[in-house]
Structure formats: structure tokens, C-alpha cells
């Protein structure tokens, strides 16, 4: 697609303009423009090293962009004086390796930020924690430590931890890549339920079948650039760019 | 054989020296307790401060740690006792010993805690920060508790080896266990009180040694 400035629509919740990220001698992102609408589910696919994760991590500034701007729900989060801790409360993130706090129970993991960031009272935080853990199907595991849970359960706790903050958007960085194939389904069904509730989601994933089923839009990235994007039918059935075709044939045949 | 029993396991002299040795034991225990509590807490505070990555502060922390790890504790103790009075600082022998051991243990403990803090995965920081937790809150609630767990086994070993130096206090005339035993040995012209003191040292430190092996096993699998 063309790398011009996108028209900013009213319903755009994420607007990324001219985003670049360079490491010492590596250009990880090169002038990326992207907007995401409220309640949209966007999948980012592409070979490893294509900049997908870097792009995602720039959106909550775990990664510091070299150039460009990102605004979320009207706030330009790449501004210098911005309160990052405030901004991040609106952006839930789910990691490939779950990153649960090993020294806390499932409920402890979920309520920590409610208590320390949202300043909720103990009972209120607990209620909220129980609600989100029920939503991800883990009402019976609240007292379990991460080491006592399966990978799928851990990832669902991690999703609950992010959901508890009632974020405006959710970022998923390869949420099922570290999972046993048998455990992928339970995580995907939680994500499906979030989608049905209208959560805006940006998902970096290699789950092509899930993308085909759940995506409103699929973005193919390669070498730090958005090569092609469109509805899943278009990208998966009739990709226009040779690099997309090559990538997909490799992914779908293995 | 009789001579060995007479000189080293003379129950009569041991019995007579027991009250003085028990007094010494109490002082040794006090000194050890102050060393462990003070040294570990100060070491942890230093390591956490170092994580703030304030350049000037870190410079002083690193200098302190390196200096106190490099100098033999006995040299520090002698300096505190004989050197500091020239600067008008006069500290009682007991507190000279306590201060020396606290600082030495703090330096060693700082290194251990710091290693633990760095060993906590980056993902832990990222997960916490992504929910809006600040740097300091993350350090205190997420990283430090995990670091402490990681370092408990190596730390207990260091704590034991530093705390054993409580016996050095005898050099500056603190009437602790070893000092009392030496005095008693002179009084009775018989080294049996020293044997008794050695047994008492075992009594103090053996549980600690066992405890440290227990912790090592306990924390070996999870984390």
C-alpha cells in the first residue's frame, strides 16, 4: 500500500503516523502508517524479524520509536511530556511468555495493578479480579500460583490481568506461540469472546486459521514495512503482493 | 590418651568455666544477630538503590561494596577501634565489631541481591509496566521479591561465613565467647574451655548451616 498520511477518521482509536524504529545498524520499522477503528480486530502477520512485535511494542512504548507519532483515543502518546503510566492503563498487553508474577496467585496477579494503580479498595479489587477471572474461565483457579497452572491457564490469567484494567485496546504479542498445540484453543476462545464483546484488538500471531476467522483486517509486514493489508478473504485467498503470497504459501503448507 | 582427655576434654574445668562462657555466648549471639539483621537489610537497601541507576549514587555504592569486600574484616575492625579515635570518633569495642561486620555483610549482601535483581526476567518488568505500574512500584512489588527468592541460598552461605567473624571481636577486647574462652584457658592453664567454646560455636552455626542447605533444596525447583 501507499505510505502516505492516512485520513484520520472519527472512529479511529489508534493512529500511527510515520513510525520508524532503528537499532544501531538495523531498521526495524520504516515509516509505518496505520489506523485502527474502535472494536476492530487487526491481525499482523509476517516472517520473524519483519517488525510486527516491534510495532506492537511501540504502541504502549515498551519500545521507544525513533520517529513518528502514535495516538490512542486522541492522546498522542509519543509526546515527550506524556504520563506513560497513565497511558498504559488504557492499553492491555498480552505477551508470548505470559510473564505472570510467579510469587503471586492468579488473583494476586490480577488485582495488583487495581490496587496500586487504580487505587481500588481491597474488596472492590477482589470483586473485579474474580469477575475477570470468571470471564476467562478460571474462577476455580484464583488461589493457584502460576507454576501450578498449565500454559493455557497462565495465558488466560495474563489476559484477565490486562482486562481487569478495562483497557480501551488490547495488544497480543504472539499469545499462543509458547503453548502446547492442545492448549491453544482455550486461549483463542477467550480472545473470540473478547472480540464479541467489542474489544479493539491488535494481534501479532501465526495462527492463520484464527486470523481468517476472527480478523476484520489482516496486515502483512515484511522488513519493517506494511506490505499489504485488507480483509482476511482478500489477504488469504487473493493476496496481491508476491511477498505476501510467498509468505502465506510457506505458512499454510507447513 | 589420658593426657588428651585431661587437657582438651576436662569436664571439671569446662564446668567451672561454663558461666563465663555462657556470658560470652550471649554477647556473640547479640553480635551475630545485629550483623545478620543489619547487614542483610542494609545490603538489600543498597541493591534496590542501585537499581534506580542514579549515576552518582551508584558510584558510591560500587566503591563501598568493592572496598569492603576487598579489605579483610580484621583490618577494618582494627582500623575502627584504633584508627577512628584519632579522628575524634570513639566507639565502644562491641559497636566497633558490630559496625564492621554489618558493613562487611552489607557489601557482600548487596552484590548478591544485585545479582538477583538483574536475574529477574525483563518480561516481568514489561508486564508490570504495561499495566501502568511505575518503575519504583515495579521494583518493590514485582522484581525485589523475586530477586530475594533467587538469592536466598547463596545469601545464607555468605551470611554464615561473615557472621562467623564475630569471633574477631575478641581482638578488640569484646568479652564474647572466644575471648572468655581464652581468658578461662589462662586461668585454668588448660585449653578445655576452648574446646567448650568450639562446641558452642558449632551449636550456634550448625542450625544455620542446616537451614541454608534446606533453603537450597527448597528453592531449587520453583522460581
Are the beta carbons of B127 and A62 separated by less than 8 Å?
no
Chain A touched by B12 (CB under 8 Å): no
What digits encode the pLDDT tens for the residues B38-65?
999 999 999 999 999 999 999 999 999 9
**Partners of residue B151 in chain A, C-beta under 8 Å:** none
Query: Which residue in chain A is spatially nearest to B149 when comparing CA positions?
Result: A103
A244, pLDDT greater than 80: yes
Q: What is the ipTM of this complex?
A: 0.91
Distance of CA A173 to the CA centre of its chain: 5
Work out the pLDDT band at B209, boundaries 50, 70, 90: confident
- Nearest-CA distance from B111 to chain A in Å? 22
Query: Which stretch of DSSP H or E encloses residue B153?
Result: helix B144-163
Please state whether beta strands A12-23 and A67-72 pair in parallel, antiparallel, or not at all (unpaired). Answer: antiparallel
**Partners of residue B128 in chain A, C-beta under 8 Å:** 101, 112-113
Q: Is B71 exposed, middle or buried (0-12, 13-18, 19+ CB in 10 A)?
A: middle
Provide the sign of the torsion angle of the four alpha carbons A244, A246, A247, A251, taken in this order.
positive
Mean pLDDT over A150-158 rounds to 97
Are the beta carbons of A89 and B131 separated by less than 8 Å?
yes
Q: What is the pLDDT of residue A2?
A: 41
Are the beta carbons of B123 and A95 separated by less than 8 Å?
yes
- Nearest-CA distance from A146 to chain B in Å? 10
Q: What is the pLDDT of residue B214?
A: 85
Work out the pLDDT band at B127, boundaries 50, 70, 90: very high
- Nearest-CA distance from A221 to chain B in Å? 24
Mean pLDDT over B102-124 rounds to 97
- Best residue in A112, A129, A174 for a mutation probing chain B (most B CBs within 10 Å): A112
Are the beta carbons of A86 and B133 separated by less than 8 Å?
no
Mean pLDDT over B99-111 rounds to 97
Q: What is the pTM assigned to this prediction?
A: 0.87
**Partners of residue B223 in chain A, C-beta under 8 Å:** 102
Query: Which residue in chain B is spatially nearest to A58 when comparing CA positions?
Result: B130
- Nearest-CA distance from A61 to chain B in Å? 9
A1, pLDDT greater than 50: no
Mean pLDDT over A61-78 rounds to 94
- Best residue in B131, B138, B142 for a mutation probing chain A (most A CBs within 10 Å): B131
Are the beta carbons of A117 and B142 separated by less than 8 Å?
no
Percent of chain B with pLDDT over 70: 98
- Region of residue A18 (phi > 0: left; psi between -120 and 50: alpha; otherwise: beta): left
What digits encode the pLDDT tens for the residues A71-125?
999 889 999 889 999 999 999 999 999 999 999 999 999 999 999 999 999 999 9
Would you say A110 and A160 are in contact if contact means Cβ atoms under 8 Å apart?
yes
The x, y and z cell numbers of residue B171, run together, are 581482638
- Sheet holding A26-37: strands in order across? A26-37, A12-23, A67-72, A75-76
A3, pLDDT greater than 50: no
- Nearest-CA distance from B107 to chain A in Å? 27
Nearest Cα neighbor of A162 from A202, A215, A196, A211 is A202
Q: What is the pLDDT of residue B138?
A: 97
CA dist A213 → A42, A123, A191, A200, B171 (Å)? 12, 39, 12, 16, 79
Chain A touched by B92 (CB under 8 Å): no
Rounded to whole angstroms, how far apart are CA atoms B69 and B73? 9
Which residue's entry shows cell 497480543?
A172
- Give residue ranges of A with CB < 8 Å to any B CB: 60, 62, 85-86, 88-89, 91-93, 95, 97, 99-103, 112-113, 116-117, 147, 158, 161-162, 165
Please, which residues 114-133 of chain B have a Cβ atom closer than 8 Å to chain A? Answer: 121, 123-124, 126-133
The x, y and z cell numbers of residue A16, run together, are 500511527
> Could you tell me which residues come within 8 angstroms of residue A45 by beta carbon, excluding any fewer than 6 positions away?
A52, A204, A205, A206, A208, A211, A218, A219, A220, A221, A247, A251
Percent of chain B with pLDDT over 90: 83
Residue A242: count of CB within 10 angstroms of its CB:
9
**How many helical (H) and strand (E) elements, i.e. helices and strands, does chain A have?**
9, 10
**Domain B18-222 adopts which CATH fold?**
MetI-like fold (1.10.3720)
Percent of chain A with pLDDT over 90: 89
Would you say A36 and A14 are in contact if contact means Cβ atoms under 8 Å apart?
yes
Residue A227: count of CB within 10 angstroms of its CB:
19
What digits encode the pLDDT tens for the residues B183-203?
999 999 999 999 999 999 999
Would you say A224 and A30 are in contact if contact means Cβ atoms under 8 Å apart?
yes
Structural domain spans, chain B: 18-222
Q: Which phi and psi (to 5°) does residue B120 adopt?
A: -70, 130
Q: Half-sphere exposure of B181 toward its Cβ, with a 13 Å CA cutoff? A: 24
Mean pLDDT over B2-20 rounds to 90
Rounded to whole angstroms, how far apart are CA atoms A60 and B15? 72
Provide the sign of the torsion angle of the four alpha carbons A174, A177, A181, A184, taken in this order.
negative
Rounded to whole angstroms, how far apart are CA atoms A253 and A169? 32
Rounded to whole angstroms, how far apart are CA atoms B175 and B25? 9
Maximum Cα interatomic distance, chain B, rounded to a whole number of Å: 75
Chain A touched by B221 (CB under 8 Å): no
What digits encode the pLDDT tens for the residues A222-232?
999 999 999 99
**Which among B126, B132, B146 is the nearest to A62, CB-wise?**
B126
Percent of chain A with pLDDT over 70: 96
Q: What is the pLDDT of residue B213?
A: 84
A6, pLDDT greater than 80: no
Amino acid at each position: 500500500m501507499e505510505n502516505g498520511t492516512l485520513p484520520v477518521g472519527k472512529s479511529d482509536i489508534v493512529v500511527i503516523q510515520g513510525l520508524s524504529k532503528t537499532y544501531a545498524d538495523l531498521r526495524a520499522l520504516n515509516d509505518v502508517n496505520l489506523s485502527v477503528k474502535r472494536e476492530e480486530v487487526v491481525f499482523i502477520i509476517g516472517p520473524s524479524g519483519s517488525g510486527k512485535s516491534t510495532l506492537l511494542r511501540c504502541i504502549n512504548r515498551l519500545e521507544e520509536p525513533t520517529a513518528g507519532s502514535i495516538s490512542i483515543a486522541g492522546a498522542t502518546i509519543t509526546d515527550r511530556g506524556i504520563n506513560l503510566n497513565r497511558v498504559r492503563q488504557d492499553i492491555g498487553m498480552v505477551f508470548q511468555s505470559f510473564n505472570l508474577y510467579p510469587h503471586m496467585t492468579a488473583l494476586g496477579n490480577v488485582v495488583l495493578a487495581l490496587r496500586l494503580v487504580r487505587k481500588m479498595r481491597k474488596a472492590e479489587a477482589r470483586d473485579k479480579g474474580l469477575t475477570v477471572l470468571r470471564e476467562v474461565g478460571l474462577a476455580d483457579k484464583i488461589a493457584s500460583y502460576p507454576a501450578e497452572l498449565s500454559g493455557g491457564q497462565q495465558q488466560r490469567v495474563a489476559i484477565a490481568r490486562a482486562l481487569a484494567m478495562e483497557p480501551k485496546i488490547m495488544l497480543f504479542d504472539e499469545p499462543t506461540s509458547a503453548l502446547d498445540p492442545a492448549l491453544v484453543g482455550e486461549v483463542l476462545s477467550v480472545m473470540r469472546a473478547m472480540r464479541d464483546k467489542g474489544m479493539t484488538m491488535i494481534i501479532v500471531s501465526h495462527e492463520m486459521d484464527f486470523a481468517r476467522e476472527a480478523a476484520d483486517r489482516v496486515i502483512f509486514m515484511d522488513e519493517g514495512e506494511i506490505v499489504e493489508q485488507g480483509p482476511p478473504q482478500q489477504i488469504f485467498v487473493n493476496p496481491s503482493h508476491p511477498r505476501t503470497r510467498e509468505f502465506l504459501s510457506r505458512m499454510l503448507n507447513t | 590418651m589420658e593426657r588428651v582427655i585431661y587437657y582438651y576434654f576436662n569436664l571439671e574445668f569446662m564446668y567451672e568455666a561454663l558461666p563465663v562462657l555462657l556470658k560470652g555466648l550471649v554477647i556473640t549471639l547479640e553480635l551475630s544477630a545485629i550483623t545478620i539483621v543489619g547487614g542483610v537489610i542494609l545490603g538489600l537497601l543498597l541493591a534496590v538503590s542501585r537499581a534506580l541507576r542514579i549515576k552518582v549514587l551508584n558510584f558510591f555504592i560500587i566503591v563501598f561494596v568493592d572496598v569492603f569486600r576487598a579489605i579483610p574484616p580484621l583490618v577494618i575492625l582494627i582500623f575502627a577501634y584504633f584508627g577512628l579515635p584519632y579522628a575524634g570518633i570513639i566507639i565502644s569495642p562491641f559497636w566497633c565489631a558490630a559496625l564492621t561486620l554489618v558493613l562487611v555483610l552489607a557489601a557482600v549482601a548487596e552484590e548478591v541481591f544485585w545479582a538477583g535483581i538483574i536475574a529477574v526476567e525483563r518480561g516481568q518488568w514489561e508486564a508490570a509496566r504495561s499495566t501502568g505500574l511505575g518503575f519504583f512500584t515495579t521494583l518493590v512489588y514485582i522484581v525485589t521479591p523475586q530477586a530475594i527468592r533467587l538469592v536466598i541460598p547463596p545469601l545464607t552461605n555468605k551470611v554464615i561465613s561473615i557472621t562467623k567473624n564475630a569471633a574477631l571481636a575478641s581482638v578488640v577486647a569484646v568479652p564474647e565467647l572466644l575471648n572468655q574462652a581464652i581468658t578461662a584457658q589462662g586461668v585454668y592453664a588448660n585449653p578445655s574451655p576452648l574446646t567448650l567454646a568450639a562446641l558452642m560455636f558449632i551449636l550456634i552455626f550448625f542450625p544455620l548451616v542446616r537451614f541454608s542447605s534446606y533453603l537450597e533444596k527448597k528453592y531449587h525447583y520453583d522460581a
